[in-house]
Amino acid sequence: MNERIKELALEAGYVPVPNAEFANSLNEAFHQKFAELIVQECARCVTQPTIQAAGQTEFSMKALQDVLANDMKAYFGIE
């Protein structure tokens, strides 16, 4: 499992089961696939943003980052 995914899984409360390599490997495979699906959705949000800035045709990089970040949060229902 990717180290960052492992860190996030632990931060989210994942605790490996002692002496249960098979169960832990299944959990790690789940976390890896789950993370991949979330990243794919985030990439979709970046390539197809749904939030429009009223009347603006040009964005600063910060404004664009804010729009994309807000779009991803809204898509996943995260404040």
Spell out the residues 6+ positions from residue 67 whose beta carbon is closer than 8 angstroms to its own: 49, 51, 53, 59
Rounded-to-integer distance, Cα 6 and Cα 74, Å: 25
Q: How much of the chain exceeds pLDDT 70, in percent?
A: 82
Residue 8 is encoded by which pair of tokens?
């996030």
User: What pLDDT, on the 0 to 100 scale, is given for residue 47?
Assistant: 72
User: According to the model, what pLDDT value does residue 53 have?
Assistant: 53
pLDDT digits (tens, 9 = 90+) for 33-60: 888 888 888 877 777 765 555 555 556 7
Q: What is the pTM of this model?
A: 0.61
- How many CB atoms within 10 Å of residue 34? 12
